[in-house]
């Protein structure tokens, strides 16, 4: 993975020293809260319902085992022993004291981590596939380009005061595991017929109160123009974005109001001015960065080990189930990628991982892989390179740490924002609803029979839990000071992304497990063979679901 050079280190040292001084001045009263606010937000420090919250960047979701141990240390020394992994592959600490924040920043910097640009109207953490570089179905490794974009966007003076936050995702698989279409700029990396890496550029995706999927504005952009092209997009946005209205300030609104074609034309005009400038990525620069992502020294593991795994599965249905859902094909024979579920149900809210679990995962990354861990936008942790012969041992270890729930991609693999338990913007809580549903669907055999089914929960319209993209989406709404939940159906993530539709009036928290059960029962009643949930919804529409759900109270939807 990428290692910092002297420039990176100097930049972080200077930034943490500057931030320490800002905190000291705030604590002494020399800076008012109003003056301090933009300074802390530049460093990922929010003020939430109970305490300060620190969001630490995990560039394209990649961590070393050593970095994960530092996150565990931060959780223990300065928080309450856990962290929350988010849908943008970052980690948040919820119980930070302001006076500790500079020490935490220093500790992060020592481990080549930081919280810069994890909030504010800037280019946020660049996200990508959690199986980047190792997935069997990947066309190319997106990480070198993600890293180049990261370096280009970090403290880029031209883009530190954008009209609104700006999110970029890049994917290089045909399935798209990075929710590319829900980003301000979405990038698909592919090879053209001559084998040259090319980019398809989408703009104007985003969730929040006006959910939209990105539209393609450029096909076949040669990879070396990545930064100049994205720069042109940002310049057009910077020039025309609606700074006068926070709710209309995202690029999606601009693209919608200008129209995708005129927007693209303006980007092309802007790009013509900087295309082939020194900012164009050279072969040498690409190679330099790509060298950090060179394949680790895989051993030839093919053959008998695979048979061993098969034999163990035959004798152990639980292990077999875990292999089916949580183990993913690797591009190198004899290896697999493993998803460790952070969704055991009542034991922990989605995405929450304790320091003990973090340390265990770091140890497994060293023991069974090459010291690397990934964070998925589904808020799970991934060990990218596990020898197949070690799968059984890893499974047992993960079981002991409540990280082996065999539910990846299933109904209980709930994606949820922290909601009203932590977030001061929330209309309703997310975590208790997630847990009540998880508790209702504990029968793993039944869940496996239902097949892939995504459930996403957000505590307000900001959509941090990507509820629009869930096959079933739940949105917390406020009705006269009470918590209610609106349900959407038909959302999808991935290459065939779709935004879900609201089914009718909202429900009370205690109704939610029953509502989900009725939705699932309707699916089971109409399903053809092994059809996935989202295909059934697409085929039969919302009406049968509405009928069944609202029959509950004998009411009209």
**Which positions touch ligand HEM (CB under 6 A)?**
46, 48, 53, 86-88, 92, 164, 167, 206-208, 250, 417-418, 423, 425, 462-466
Nearer to ligand SF4, 251 or 423 (CB): 423
Selection from ligand SF4, ligand HEM, none that 489 binds (CB < 5 to 8 A by kind) is none
Selection from ligand SF4, ligand HEM, none that 458 binds (CB < 5 to 8 A by kind) is ligand SF4
Check residue 86 for interaction with ligand SF4 (CB under 6 A).
Answer: no
Q: Which residue has the tokens 């996403």?
A: 456
Shortest distance, CB of residue 229 to ligand HEM, whole angstroms?
Answer: 20
Nearer to ligand HEM, 148 or 461 (CB): 461
Backbone angles phi, psi at 318, to 5 degrees: -70, -45
Nearer to ligand HEM, 466 or 492 (CB): 466
Backbone angles phi, psi at 328, to 5 degrees: -125, 145
**What strands lie across the sheet with 82-85, from one edge to the other?**
45-47, 52-56, 91-96, 82-85, 352-354
Whether the CB-CB separation of 392 and 319 falls below 8 Å is answered with yes
Give the count of residues interacting with ligand SF4 (CB under 6 A).
13
Task: Give the H/E segment covering residue 47.
Answer: strand 45-47
Other beta carbons within 10 Å of 28: 8
Selection from ligand SF4, ligand HEM, none that 250 binds (CB < 5 to 8 A by kind) is ligand HEM
Check residue 426 for interaction with ligand SF4 (CB under 6 A).
Answer: yes
Q: Which of residues 272-311 bind ligand SF4 (CB under 6 A)?
A: none
CA dihedral 403, 344, 409, 393 (to 10 degrees): 20
User: Which one among 419, 470, 473, 490 touches ligand SF4, defined by CB under 6 A?
Assistant: 419
User: Which one among 417, 433, 474, 520 touches ligand SF4, defined by CB under 6 A?
Assistant: 417
The span from the CA of 178 to the CA of 176, in Å, is 6
Check residue 142 for interaction with ligand SF4 (CB under 6 A).
Answer: no
| Stretch of 279-287, 335-343, 380-388, 462-470 contacting ligand SF4, by CB under 6 A | 462-470
Beta strands 482-489; 472-479: pairing state = antiparallel
The span from the CA of 449 to the CA of 123, in Å, is 41
Whether the CB-CB separation of 338 and 383 falls below 8 Å is answered with yes
For 212, the token pair is 């939209």
Residues paired with 416 in a beta bridge: 457
Quickly list DSSP for 197-261. Answer: EEEEEEE--B-TTS-B--EEEEEEEEGGGHHHHHHHHHHHHHHHS-TT-GGG-SHHHHHHHH-HH
Check residue 53 for interaction with ligand SF4 (CB under 6 A).
Answer: no
Shortest distance, CB of residue 115 to ligand SF4, whole angstroms?
Answer: 17
Quickly list DSSP for 89-106. Answer: S-EEEEEE-GGGHHHHHH
Check residue 423 for interaction with ligand SF4 (CB under 6 A).
Answer: yes
Check residue 488 for interaction with ligand SF4 (CB under 6 A).
Answer: no
Whether the CB-CB separation of 325 and 410 falls below 8 Å is answered with yes
Nearer to ligand HEM, 82 or 368 (CB): 82
User: Which one among 345, 418, 491, 500 touches ligand SF4, defined by CB under 6 A?
Assistant: 418
Shortest distance, CB of residue 422 to ligand SF4, whole angstroms?
Answer: 8
The span from the CA of 439 to the CA of 462, in Å, is 26
Measured CA to CA in angstroms, residue 171 lies from 8, 62, 125, 231 at distances of 25, 14, 14, 19
The span from the CA of 44 to the CA of 102, in Å, is 12
Shortest distance, CB of residue 183 to ligand HEM, whole angstroms?
Answer: 7
Selection from ligand SF4, ligand HEM, none that 118 binds (CB < 5 to 8 A by kind) is none
Nearer to ligand SF4, 233 or 460 (CB): 460
Selection from ligand SF4, ligand HEM, none that 88 binds (CB < 5 to 8 A by kind) is ligand HEM
Shortest distance, CB of residue 250 to ligand HEM, whole angstroms?
Answer: 5
Check residue 91 for interaction with ligand SF4 (CB under 6 A).
Answer: no
User: Which one among 458, 486, 522, 534 touches ligand SF4, defined by CB under 6 A?
Assistant: 458
Nearer to ligand SF4, 249 or 383 (CB): 249
The span from the CA of 387 to the CA of 300, in Å, is 10
The span from the CA of 169 to the CA of 180, in Å, is 5
Closest C-alpha to 1, from 88, 74, 70, 59: 59
Selection from ligand SF4, ligand HEM, none that 384 binds (CB < 5 to 8 A by kind) is none
Quickly list DSSP for 464-489. Answer: TT-GGGSSEEEEEEEETTEEEEEEEE
| Stretch of 299-307, 326-334, 347-355, 419-427 contacting ligand SF4, by CB under 6 A | 419-427
Residue nearest to ligand HEM (CB): 208
Beta strands 127-128; 168-171: pairing state = parallel
Shortest distance, CB of residue 425 to ligand HEM, whole angstroms?
Answer: 5
What is the chain's Cα-based Rg? 23
Shortest distance, CB of residue 340 to ligand HEM, whole angstroms?
Answer: 17
Selection from ligand SF4, ligand HEM, none that 460 binds (CB < 5 to 8 A by kind) is ligand SF4
Selection from ligand HEM, ligand SF4, none that 426 binds (CB < 5 to 8 A by kind) is ligand SF4
Selection from ligand SF4, ligand HEM, none that 204 binds (CB < 5 to 8 A by kind) is none
Binding positions for ligand SF4, rule: CB under 6 A: 417-419, 423, 425-426, 458-460, 462-465
């Amino acid at each position: 993975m990428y290692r910092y050079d002297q420039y990176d280190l100097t930049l972080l040292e200077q930034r943490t020293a500057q931030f320490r001084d800002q905190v000291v001045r705030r604590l002494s009263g020399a800076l008012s809260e109003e003056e301090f606010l933009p300074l802390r937000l530049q460093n990922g420090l929010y003020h939430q319902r109970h305490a300060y919250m620190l969001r630490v960047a995990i560039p394209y979701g990649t961590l070393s085992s050593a970095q994960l141990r530092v996150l565990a240390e931060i959780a223990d020394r300065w928080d309450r022993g856990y962290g929350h992994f988010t849908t943008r592959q970052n980690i948040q600490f919820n119980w930070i004291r302001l006076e500790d924040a500079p020490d935490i920043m220093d500790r992060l910097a020592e481990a080549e981590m930081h919280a810069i640009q994890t909030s504010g109207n800037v280019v946020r953490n660049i996200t990508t596939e959690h199986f980047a570089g190792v997935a069997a179905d990947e066309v190319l490794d997106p990480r070198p380009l993600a890293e180049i974009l990261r370096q280009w966007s970090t403290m880029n003076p031209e883009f530190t005061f954008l009209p609104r936050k700006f999110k970029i995702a890049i994917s290089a698989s045909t399935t798209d595991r990075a929710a590319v279409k829900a980003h301000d700029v979405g990038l698909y990396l592919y090879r053209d017929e001559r084998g040259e890496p090319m980019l398809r550029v989408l703009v104007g995706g985003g969730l929040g109160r006006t959910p939209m999927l990105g539209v393609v504005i450029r096909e076949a952009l040669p990879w070396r123009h990545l930064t100049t092209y994205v720069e042109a997009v940002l310049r057009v946005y910077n020039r025309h974005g609606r700074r006068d209205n926070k709710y209309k300030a995202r690029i999606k609104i601009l693209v919608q109001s200008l129209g995708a074609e005129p927007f693209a034309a303006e980007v092309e005009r802007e790009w013509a001015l900087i295309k082939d400038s020194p900012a164009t990525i050279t072969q040498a620069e690409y190679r330099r960065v790509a060298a950090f992502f060179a394949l680790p020294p895989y051993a030839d593991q093919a053959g008998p080990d695979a048979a061993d795994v098969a034999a163990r599965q035959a004798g152990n249905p639980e292990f077999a189930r875990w292999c089916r859902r949580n183990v993913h094909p690797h591009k190198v024979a004899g290896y697999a990628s493993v998803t460790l579920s952070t969704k055991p149900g009542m034991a922990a809210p989605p995405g929450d991982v304790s320091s003990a679990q973090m340390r265990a995962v770091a140890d497994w990354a060293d023991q069974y892989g090459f010291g690397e861990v990934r964070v998925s936008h589904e808020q799970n942790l991934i060990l990218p390179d596990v020898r197949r012969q070690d799968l059984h041992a890893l499974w047992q270890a993960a079981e002991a740490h409540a990280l082996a729930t065999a539910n990846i991609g299933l109904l209980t693999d709930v994606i949820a924002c922290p909601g009203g338990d932590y977030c001061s913007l929330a209309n309703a809580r997310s975590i208790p609803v997630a847990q009540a549903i998880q508790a209702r669907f504990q029968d793993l055999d039944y869940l496996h029979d239902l097949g892939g089914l995504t459930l996403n929960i957000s505590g307000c319209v900001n959509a941090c839990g990507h509820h629009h993209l869930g096959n079933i989406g739940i949105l917390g709404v406020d009705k006269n000071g009470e918590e209610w939940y609106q349900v959407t159906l038909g959302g999808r993530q991935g290459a065939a992304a779709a935004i879900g539709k609201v089914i009718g009036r909202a429900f009370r928290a205690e109704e939610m497990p029953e509502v989900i059960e009725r939705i699932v029962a309707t699916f089971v009643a109409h399903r053809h063979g092994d059809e996935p949930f989202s295909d059934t919804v697409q085929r039969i529409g919302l009406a049968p679901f509405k009928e069944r759900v609202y029959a509950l109270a004998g009411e009209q939807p």
